Amino acid sequence: MGSIGVVIPFYKQRKQLEKCLELIRQQTINNIKIYVKDNSEINTYFTSAVNEGIQTFVEDREIEYILVLNQDAYLEQNTVEELVNSMIRNQECGISAPIQISENGNIVWSGGLEAFPLGNHQIFTDNSATNELETFWVNGAAMLLRKQMVREIGLLDKNMQFICSDADYSFTARSRGWKLLVSKKAFVQHDLSGSKDAENNELTMIKINDAIYFTKKWINGDLYRSLAIEGRHLTNQYVDECLKIYLNELSTIKKSTKMKR
């Protein structure tokens, strides 16, 4: 088996990063290389940071898989090994993801159900004998990418700076014939508190613009309707109403920002 490259977008929360790195060092496999993109001074946001790391590893001949990992995502000791095992058992799998445990202890899917208008994570209740579950999209806080797939479908769409690029990448992979699997034996604790503390008008505007771009790129097309669990139920009227909400929120924030200045 080749090496695993780990890409971590880092922003200011040093204690989170240190905990994240320590748990990577404790993994049951040790052929791991780490790339930390420090966004603390100049924040290029999630997608750009991830793409920079992917570009670094995709040219490394030793790397076979690339793990995208948030600084506030804490791996259990065997998580990387189980994600890789899922890839080995399923050669058609392009993205393998762990089950996420929220800060309040709830076990949820990594990704899961509806992607539009907001990501819907399902409480994990599956007790079947299979080791993996096929899913519609995965959450970018922790996802293992097969390098072969990356070479085929390219990088994350930089037009979505902070959110939606993970769902977009998932649908792009599936549209090219790759499967997305959640490993039932791999777990990661995702502490969302750090992200919530960093909320501000600028970041909110970026998120809204990301959602608008994702909507215009995917939602009105037949391809999305065939790939997404909610696709066949979407109506043009509902999509238009969601777009209006996004645009109204964006306008309100812009006005608020101008008044403060």
Average pLDDT over residues 85-112: 86
Tens of pLDDT along 12-34?
999 999 999 999 999 999 899 99
Tens of pLDDT along 63-86?
999 999 999 999 999 999 999 999
- DSSP letter at 123? B
What domains are defined for the chain? 3-194 (3.90.550.10), 201-260 (no CATH)
- Contact between residue 162 and residue 119 where contact means Cβ atoms under 8 Å apart: no
- Contact between residue 184 and residue 134 where contact means Cβ atoms under 8 Å apart: no
Residues 204-208: contacts with CB within 8 Å, 24+ apart? 204/249, 204/253, 205/250, 205/253, 205/254, 206/45, 206/161, 206/162, 207/162, 207/163, 208/246, 208/249, 208/250, 208/253
- DSSP letter at 9? E
Its pTM stands at 0.90
pLDDT of residue 232: 85
Q: Distances in Å between the alpha carbon of 59 and those of 53, 63, 66, 105, 109?
A: 11, 8, 12, 38, 31
d(CA 96, CA 247): 34
Confidence class of residue 222 from pLDDT cuts 50, 70 and 90? confident
Give the pairing of strands 93-102 and 63-69.
Answer: unpaired
Handedness of CA 47, 52, 56, 59 (dihedral sign): positive
d(CA 58, CA 64): 8
Average pLDDT over residues 195-200: 56
